[in-house]
Structure 1
Amino acid sequence: MHQQIADFAADKPTSDTPSLPLWEAAMRQAVQAERDRQIALALCGYERALAIAQCLIDAPPAGRADDCLAALVVSHLNLADLRVAQGDPNAAAPVLCHAHETLIALSLDAARPASLRQAALRHGRETYVALIRHISRHGPHPLITRALADADAALHGASPARH
Protein backbone atom coordinates (compact mmCIF):
# COMPACT_ATOMS: atom_id res chain seq x y z
CA MET A 1 0.00 0.00 0.00
CA HIS A 2 2.81 2.45 0.84
CA GLN A 3 4.30 1.89 -2.60
CA GLN A 4 0.89 2.64 -4.18
CA ILE A 5 0.76 5.95 -2.31
CA ALA A 6 4.29 6.83 -3.43
CA ASP A 7 3.43 5.90 -7.01
CA PHE A 8 0.20 7.91 -6.79
CA ALA A 9 2.04 10.99 -5.50
CA ALA A 10 4.62 10.65 -8.25
CA ASP A 11 2.02 10.16 -11.01
CA LYS A 12 1.60 13.76 -12.06
CA PRO A 13 2.31 15.95 -15.03
CA THR A 14 5.97 16.81 -15.56
CA SER A 15 5.58 20.35 -14.29
CA ASP A 16 5.45 20.94 -10.56
CA THR A 17 4.22 24.48 -11.13
CA PRO A 18 0.71 24.77 -9.67
CA SER A 19 -1.85 25.06 -12.44
CA LEU A 20 -5.51 24.29 -12.95
CA PRO A 21 -4.66 21.31 -15.20
CA LEU A 22 -2.39 19.94 -12.45
CA TRP A 23 -5.21 20.43 -9.92
CA GLU A 24 -7.69 18.71 -12.27
CA ALA A 25 -5.36 15.73 -12.70
CA ALA A 26 -4.89 15.39 -8.94
CA MET A 27 -8.63 15.63 -8.39
CA ARG A 28 -9.42 13.02 -11.06
CA GLN A 29 -6.91 10.62 -9.51
CA ALA A 30 -8.35 11.17 -6.04
CA VAL A 31 -11.94 10.67 -7.16
CA GLN A 32 -10.99 7.48 -8.98
CA ALA A 33 -9.09 6.20 -5.94
CA GLU A 34 -12.15 6.89 -3.77
CA ARG A 35 -14.39 5.05 -6.24
CA ASP A 36 -11.95 2.12 -6.13
CA ARG A 37 -12.16 2.25 -2.32
CA GLN A 38 -8.47 3.04 -2.03
CA ILE A 39 -9.07 5.50 0.77
CA ALA A 40 -5.42 6.24 1.59
CA LEU A 41 -4.78 7.06 -2.07
CA ALA A 42 -7.90 9.22 -2.23
CA LEU A 43 -6.87 11.10 0.91
CA CYS A 44 -3.40 11.70 -0.52
CA GLY A 45 -4.91 12.91 -3.81
CA TYR A 46 -7.42 15.26 -2.21
CA GLU A 47 -4.71 16.73 0.01
CA ARG A 48 -2.47 17.20 -3.03
CA ALA A 49 -5.30 18.88 -4.95
CA LEU A 50 -5.96 21.16 -1.97
CA ALA A 51 -2.28 22.15 -1.77
CA ILE A 52 -2.29 22.99 -5.48
CA ALA A 53 -5.49 25.02 -5.12
CA GLN A 54 -4.04 26.96 -2.20
CA CYS A 55 -0.98 27.84 -4.28
CA LEU A 56 -3.23 28.96 -7.13
CA ILE A 57 -5.04 31.37 -4.82
CA ASP A 58 -1.75 33.07 -4.03
CA ALA A 59 -1.15 33.75 -7.73
CA PRO A 60 -4.21 32.96 -9.85
CA PRO A 61 -3.69 32.91 -13.62
CA ALA A 62 -5.09 35.99 -15.33
CA GLY A 63 -8.86 35.79 -15.63
CA ARG A 64 -9.04 32.50 -13.71
CA ALA A 65 -9.52 33.68 -10.12
CA ASP A 66 -13.04 32.28 -9.99
CA ASP A 67 -11.85 28.90 -11.27
CA CYS A 68 -9.06 28.84 -8.68
CA LEU A 69 -11.52 29.60 -5.90
CA ALA A 70 -13.83 26.87 -7.18
CA ALA A 71 -10.88 24.46 -7.09
CA LEU A 72 -10.19 25.48 -3.50
CA VAL A 73 -13.81 24.91 -2.47
CA VAL A 74 -14.15 21.58 -4.30
CA SER A 75 -10.90 20.34 -2.77
CA HIS A 76 -12.08 21.17 0.73
CA LEU A 77 -15.56 19.72 0.21
CA ASN A 78 -14.28 16.46 -1.27
CA LEU A 79 -11.77 16.06 1.53
CA ALA A 80 -14.47 16.71 4.13
CA ASP A 81 -16.85 14.27 2.41
CA LEU A 82 -14.15 11.60 2.48
CA ARG A 83 -13.65 12.16 6.22
CA VAL A 84 -17.39 11.74 6.79
CA ALA A 85 -17.45 8.63 4.61
CA GLN A 86 -14.66 7.25 6.79
CA GLY A 87 -17.02 7.66 9.73
CA ASP A 88 -15.31 10.69 11.24
CA PRO A 89 -17.53 13.77 10.86
CA ASN A 90 -15.47 15.52 13.55
CA ALA A 91 -12.44 15.40 11.23
CA ALA A 92 -14.52 16.98 8.47
CA ALA A 93 -15.47 20.04 10.56
CA PRO A 94 -12.03 21.72 10.56
CA VAL A 95 -11.72 21.16 6.81
CA LEU A 96 -15.07 22.84 6.18
CA CYS A 97 -14.24 25.66 8.57
CA HIS A 98 -10.89 26.27 6.90
CA ALA A 99 -12.57 26.60 3.52
CA HIS A 100 -15.11 29.12 4.80
CA GLU A 101 -12.58 31.11 6.82
CA THR A 102 -10.21 31.29 3.85
CA LEU A 103 -12.92 32.64 1.58
CA ILE A 104 -14.06 35.22 4.13
CA ALA A 105 -10.47 36.38 4.65
CA LEU A 106 -9.94 36.66 0.89
CA SER A 107 -13.16 38.61 0.46
CA LEU A 108 -11.99 41.15 3.06
CA ASP A 109 -8.38 41.45 1.87
CA ALA A 110 -8.13 44.93 0.36
CA ALA A 111 -4.80 44.01 -1.23
CA ARG A 112 -6.55 41.47 -3.45
CA PRO A 113 -8.17 42.37 -6.78
CA ALA A 114 -11.88 43.19 -6.55
CA SER A 115 -12.74 40.31 -8.89
CA LEU A 116 -11.11 37.78 -6.54
CA ARG A 117 -12.75 39.34 -3.50
CA GLN A 118 -16.20 39.20 -5.12
CA ALA A 119 -15.66 35.62 -6.26
CA ALA A 120 -14.60 34.66 -2.73
CA LEU A 121 -17.90 36.03 -1.41
CA ARG A 122 -19.87 34.06 -4.01
CA HIS A 123 -18.05 30.85 -3.19
CA GLY A 124 -18.46 31.62 0.51
CA ARG A 125 -22.15 30.84 0.06
CA GLU A 126 -21.22 27.28 -0.88
CA THR A 127 -19.05 26.81 2.18
CA TYR A 128 -21.70 28.40 4.39
CA VAL A 129 -24.25 25.88 3.13
CA ALA A 130 -21.74 23.06 3.66
CA LEU A 131 -21.25 24.15 7.29
CA ILE A 132 -24.99 24.35 7.92
CA ARG A 133 -25.55 20.99 6.22
CA HIS A 134 -22.82 19.43 8.38
CA ILE A 135 -24.54 20.70 11.52
CA SER A 136 -27.92 19.40 10.36
CA ARG A 137 -26.52 15.94 9.63
CA HIS A 138 -24.01 15.51 12.46
CA GLY A 139 -25.06 17.95 15.17
CA PRO A 140 -23.38 21.11 16.42
CA HIS A 141 -19.61 21.39 16.40
CA PRO A 142 -17.76 24.13 18.29
CA LEU A 143 -15.39 24.91 15.40
CA ILE A 144 -18.30 25.39 13.03
CA THR A 145 -20.17 27.56 15.51
CA ARG A 146 -17.10 29.75 15.92
CA ALA A 147 -16.39 29.91 12.17
CA LEU A 148 -19.94 31.03 11.43
CA ALA A 149 -19.92 33.63 14.20
CA ASP A 150 -16.50 34.96 13.18
CA ALA A 151 -17.57 35.23 9.54
CA ASP A 152 -20.75 37.04 10.51
CA ALA A 153 -18.81 39.48 12.67
CA ALA A 154 -16.20 40.05 9.96
CA LEU A 155 -18.73 40.60 7.18
CA HIS A 156 -21.31 42.58 9.11
CA GLY A 157 -19.22 44.24 11.78
CA ALA A 158 -19.33 43.26 15.41
CA SER A 159 -21.59 45.70 17.11
CA PRO A 160 -22.53 45.56 20.76
CA ALA A 161 -25.73 47.45 19.99
CA ARG A 162 -28.86 45.33 19.63
CA HIS A 163 -31.41 46.24 17.00
Structure 2
Amino acid sequence: MEQWKRTILIGNSYFNRGELIDAREQYLQALALAQVLFDRWAVADEAVAAFVISHHNLADLHLNLNQPEESAEYLCAVHQRLLQVIQDPQMAPDLRRAALRHSNKTYSELLGFVSQYGEYPRTQRLLGNSGGEHSRSALQHPAVYAGTHSYGVH
Protein backbone atom coordinates (compact mmCIF):
# COMPACT_ATOMS: atom_id res chain seq x y z
CA MET A 1 0.00 0.00 0.00
CA GLU A 2 2.80 2.42 0.80
CA GLN A 3 4.36 2.02 -2.64
CA TRP A 4 0.98 2.68 -4.25
CA LYS A 5 0.50 5.81 -2.11
CA ARG A 6 3.96 7.14 -3.01
CA THR A 7 3.32 6.53 -6.70
CA ILE A 8 -0.06 8.28 -6.60
CA LEU A 9 1.38 11.25 -4.71
CA ILE A 10 4.18 11.63 -7.25
CA GLY A 11 1.61 11.44 -10.02
CA ASN A 12 -0.55 14.04 -8.30
CA SER A 13 2.45 16.34 -7.99
CA TYR A 14 3.12 16.06 -11.71
CA PHE A 15 -0.58 16.53 -12.46
CA ASN A 16 -0.79 19.67 -10.34
CA ARG A 17 2.25 21.13 -12.14
CA GLY A 18 0.68 20.39 -15.51
CA GLU A 19 3.24 17.71 -16.39
CA LEU A 20 0.57 15.37 -17.65
CA ILE A 21 2.73 12.83 -19.48
CA ASP A 22 4.81 12.22 -16.34
CA ALA A 23 1.62 12.10 -14.26
CA ARG A 24 0.18 9.51 -16.64
CA GLU A 25 3.22 7.28 -16.20
CA GLN A 26 2.89 7.42 -12.42
CA TYR A 27 -0.85 6.80 -12.53
CA LEU A 28 -0.35 3.81 -14.81
CA GLN A 29 2.22 2.41 -12.39
CA ALA A 30 -0.19 2.97 -9.50
CA LEU A 31 -2.95 1.23 -11.42
CA ALA A 32 -0.68 -1.73 -12.12
CA LEU A 33 0.13 -2.00 -8.41
CA ALA A 34 -3.54 -1.73 -7.47
CA GLN A 35 -4.44 -4.46 -9.97
CA VAL A 36 -1.72 -6.87 -8.85
CA LEU A 37 -2.43 -6.37 -5.17
CA PHE A 38 -6.22 -6.03 -5.46
CA ASP A 39 -7.17 -9.22 -3.65
CA ARG A 40 -3.99 -9.41 -1.58
CA TRP A 41 -4.22 -6.27 0.56
CA ALA A 42 -5.00 -6.87 4.21
CA VAL A 43 -7.77 -4.23 4.22
CA ALA A 44 -10.29 -4.82 1.45
CA ASP A 45 -11.66 -1.28 1.51
CA GLU A 46 -8.16 0.16 0.96
CA ALA A 47 -7.58 -2.22 -1.95
CA VAL A 48 -10.80 -1.20 -3.66
CA ALA A 49 -10.22 2.50 -2.93
CA ALA A 50 -6.73 2.33 -4.47
CA PHE A 51 -8.15 0.60 -7.54
CA VAL A 52 -10.90 3.22 -7.93
CA ILE A 53 -8.60 6.20 -7.32
CA SER A 54 -6.07 4.89 -9.83
CA HIS A 55 -8.73 4.66 -12.53
CA HIS A 56 -10.33 7.98 -11.65
CA ASN A 57 -7.01 9.83 -11.67
CA LEU A 58 -6.37 8.50 -15.16
CA ALA A 59 -9.87 9.60 -16.18
CA ASP A 60 -9.15 13.13 -14.90
CA LEU A 61 -5.84 13.21 -16.67
CA HIS A 62 -7.36 12.25 -20.01
CA LEU A 63 -10.00 14.94 -19.65
CA ASN A 64 -7.18 17.43 -19.19
CA LEU A 65 -5.61 16.05 -22.36
CA ASN A 66 -8.96 16.61 -24.12
CA GLN A 67 -9.46 12.86 -24.52
CA PRO A 68 -12.92 12.21 -23.07
CA GLU A 69 -13.28 8.81 -24.75
CA GLU A 70 -10.17 7.62 -22.89
CA SER A 71 -11.68 8.98 -19.68
CA ALA A 72 -14.85 7.04 -20.39
CA GLU A 73 -12.79 3.87 -20.83
CA TYR A 74 -11.20 4.22 -17.38
CA LEU A 75 -14.50 5.07 -15.70
CA CYS A 76 -16.19 2.10 -17.34
CA ALA A 77 -13.31 -0.28 -16.62
CA VAL A 78 -13.34 0.38 -12.89
CA HIS A 79 -17.11 0.18 -12.57
CA GLN A 80 -17.30 -3.00 -14.61
CA ARG A 81 -14.56 -4.64 -12.53
CA LEU A 82 -16.34 -3.78 -9.28
CA LEU A 83 -19.54 -5.31 -10.65
CA GLN A 84 -17.63 -8.49 -11.48
CA VAL A 85 -16.14 -8.65 -7.99
CA ILE A 86 -19.55 -8.15 -6.37
CA GLN A 87 -20.95 -11.10 -8.32
CA ASP A 88 -17.97 -13.43 -7.90
CA PRO A 89 -18.57 -15.92 -5.07
CA GLN A 90 -14.87 -16.85 -5.19
CA MET A 91 -13.89 -13.38 -3.95
CA ALA A 92 -13.51 -12.75 -0.24
CA PRO A 93 -16.71 -11.41 1.36
CA ASP A 94 -14.93 -8.28 2.65
CA LEU A 95 -13.68 -7.50 -0.85
CA ARG A 96 -17.14 -8.03 -2.31
CA ARG A 97 -18.69 -5.70 0.28
CA ALA A 98 -16.03 -3.06 -0.35
CA ALA A 99 -16.62 -3.34 -4.09
CA LEU A 100 -20.34 -2.85 -3.52
CA ARG A 101 -19.75 0.28 -1.41
CA HIS A 102 -17.36 1.78 -3.94
CA SER A 103 -19.54 0.85 -6.91
CA ASN A 104 -22.02 3.52 -5.80
CA LYS A 105 -19.30 6.13 -6.35
CA THR A 106 -18.12 4.68 -9.66
CA TYR A 107 -21.68 4.48 -10.94
CA SER A 108 -22.54 8.06 -10.01
CA GLU A 109 -19.26 9.33 -11.51
CA LEU A 110 -19.97 7.42 -14.70
CA LEU A 111 -23.48 8.85 -14.94
CA GLY A 112 -22.11 12.32 -14.28
CA PHE A 113 -19.51 11.88 -16.99
CA VAL A 114 -22.18 10.83 -19.51
CA SER A 115 -24.30 13.81 -18.52
CA GLN A 116 -21.43 16.22 -19.09
CA TYR A 117 -19.52 14.66 -22.00
CA GLY A 118 -22.07 12.44 -23.71
CA GLU A 119 -22.14 8.74 -24.36
CA TYR A 120 -19.35 6.69 -25.86
CA PRO A 121 -19.51 3.09 -27.11
CA ARG A 122 -18.31 1.57 -23.85
CA THR A 123 -20.57 3.71 -21.67
CA GLN A 124 -23.53 2.67 -23.81
CA ARG A 125 -22.61 -1.01 -23.51
CA LEU A 126 -22.01 -0.83 -19.77
CA LEU A 127 -24.97 1.31 -18.81
CA GLY A 128 -27.39 -0.22 -21.30
CA ASN A 129 -30.86 1.10 -20.54
CA SER A 130 -29.59 2.77 -17.40
CA GLY A 131 -27.79 5.29 -19.61
CA GLY A 132 -31.11 6.27 -21.19
CA GLU A 133 -33.85 8.62 -20.17
CA HIS A 134 -34.40 7.04 -16.76
CA SER A 135 -30.83 7.79 -15.71
CA ARG A 136 -30.86 11.20 -17.31
CA SER A 137 -33.73 12.21 -15.04
CA ALA A 138 -31.82 10.82 -12.06
CA LEU A 139 -28.88 13.02 -13.03
CA GLN A 140 -30.97 16.06 -12.25
CA HIS A 141 -30.86 15.05 -8.61
CA PRO A 142 -27.83 16.75 -6.98
CA ALA A 143 -27.05 13.73 -4.79
CA VAL A 144 -26.20 11.70 -7.88
CA TYR A 145 -23.72 14.10 -9.45
CA ALA A 146 -21.91 17.09 -8.05
CA GLY A 147 -21.23 18.66 -11.46
CA THR A 148 -17.43 18.57 -11.57
CA HIS A 149 -15.07 16.30 -13.43
CA SER A 150 -12.64 15.52 -10.68
CA TYR A 151 -12.83 11.78 -10.24
CA GLY A 152 -9.49 11.21 -8.54
CA VAL A 153 -7.87 12.55 -5.40
CA HIS A 154 -6.02 15.59 -6.73
Q: How much is the aligned-residue C-alpha RMSD, in angstroms?
A: 1.7
Counterpart mapping for 1:82-101 below 5 A: 82-101=61-80
Shift of 1:130: 1.2
The Cα offsets for residues 5-31 of structure 1, whole Å up to 9 and x where unpaired, read as xxxxxxxxxxxxxxx100000000000
Counterpart mapping for 1:53-132 below 5 A: 53-61=34-42, 64-132=43-111
| Distance in structure 2 (CA, Å) of the matches to 1:129 and 1:101 | 13
| Distance in structure 1 (CA, Å) of the matches to 2:25 and 2:78 | 18
- Which of 1 and 2 has greater Rg? 1
Task: Return the letter of the residue paired with 1:44.
Answer: E
| Distance in structure 1 (CA, Å) of the matches to 2:11 and 2:99 | 25
Q: What does residue 49 of structure 1 align with? A: 30
Report the TM-score when normalising by structure 2: 0.81
Q: What does residue 113 of structure 2 align with? A: 134
| Distance in structure 1 (CA, Å) of the matches to 2:124 and 2:46 | 28
| Distance in structure 2 (CA, Å) of the matches to 1:109 and 1:80 | 26
Shift of 1:149: 3.1
| Distance in structure 1 (CA, Å) of the matches to 2:78 and 2:124 | 14
| Distance in structure 1 (CA, Å) of the matches to 2:126 and 2:36 | 23
Q: Would you say how many aligned residue pairs link Structure 1 and Structure 2?
A: 131
| Distance in structure 1 (CA, Å) of the matches to 2:96 and 2:52 | 15
Shift of 1:38: 1.0
Q: Where does structure 1 lack aligned partners over 5 or more consecutive residues? A: 1-19, 152-163
Report the TM-score when normalising by structure 1: 0.76
Counterpart mapping for 1:8-27 below 5 A: 20-27=1-8
| Distance in structure 2 (CA, Å) of the matches to 1:149 and 1:113 | 28
| Distance in structure 2 (CA, Å) of the matches to 1:94 and 1:35 | 22
Shift of 1:60: 2.0
Shift of 1:150: 9.3
| Distance in structure 2 (CA, Å) of the matches to 1:94 and 1:21 | 27
